Structure 1
Amino acid sequence: MALPSLRLKTIMLLLLAIPFQVLAADQHHFYRSSGIAKIGSTSSTYEETWVTQVGFNYALSPAINLDIGYSESPSFQDFSLFSQPQLLNQPKLTYKGIFGGAKLQHKVFDNTSIYAKGGVAITRFDESFTNTTSAQDSDAREISPYFSVGASIPATNLMNLDLNVEISYQDPELKADINPIFLLGAQYRF
């Protein structure tokens, strides 16, 4: 009986090591963040509105995570932070998107970490007019890059819960203009 070659032994050893690498990874976590964004289009004024992101990070290693999520805002006219009567003639703007990419993180102190994440987002920007003017409703979709930087710290008395602060940016080429989004949120590790 012939002994397995060195190459075959190496491949088998690497395949056996994969589960241990995953088990050694940092904890996976769900997150939800909300914050303020200033969003507008060429046919409307800019509005500050509430934006919510929910997502999941799958830890590949203590420093690298896969990041997937969903972001949306309510109709800007319905939920503007600073609603004004003159907005009744403005179009209703809505923003939704899904995203996926990588998250790189680094522990700064014992439990505090800073991170950067980036990838690709598929965004949809809808503009509809409430009054029946000659303007038509429009719907635009695109694939664009996104980039975020942030920090997370553990909540004091709650196990596996971290609080985070983040600035997120997308580079859309839609007729919408989305300025950086400032987010505050929480993430649950398991």
Structure 2
Amino acid sequence: MDVLAATGGDEVDRIVAAWRRERPDLDVEPLTVFSRVSRLARHLDRARRGAFARHDLETWEFDVLSALRRAGEPYRLSPGVLVAQTLVTSGTMTNRIDRLETRGLVERHRSPDDRRGVLVQLTAAGRQRVDAAMSDLLDVEARVLDALPPAVRPQLAALLRTVVAQFDE
């Protein structure tokens, strides 16, 4: 019987043990955290894509629609704000807005403050789609968190916030 399996070890424990055996000169402690984060990210990505697909959305579509939804009524943002919130180039955002507009999920409107400016607004169909996808996504993610007692979830969120903060500056 596998010693790691008998003691509750996982695949990452096996990987780390192998590296410790093969390269005892290396500090492989980062693998104990980041290999698990990486594996979790892959599982979450699959689950998220599935939740969005059930609502006929791609991940990037959900990102744009949810940015507009979070903006509050009238669910309208400039393309520049959408670029900043979704971390894509302006050319990519223009293409995404075009595709979402073709699907009837967003509309472009002239900015009342700038004749050359454009605002992107969520349509009723876009709002319905993103709301349904968000509900589905939260159900999926809540099931993932069921592995943790509710009392420790805020701790985990705080620890991850600390690690991620170095990239958000």
TM-score (norm 2): 0.26
Flag the structure with higher helix content. Answer: 2
TM-score (norm 1): 0.24
Flag the structure with higher strand content. Answer: 1
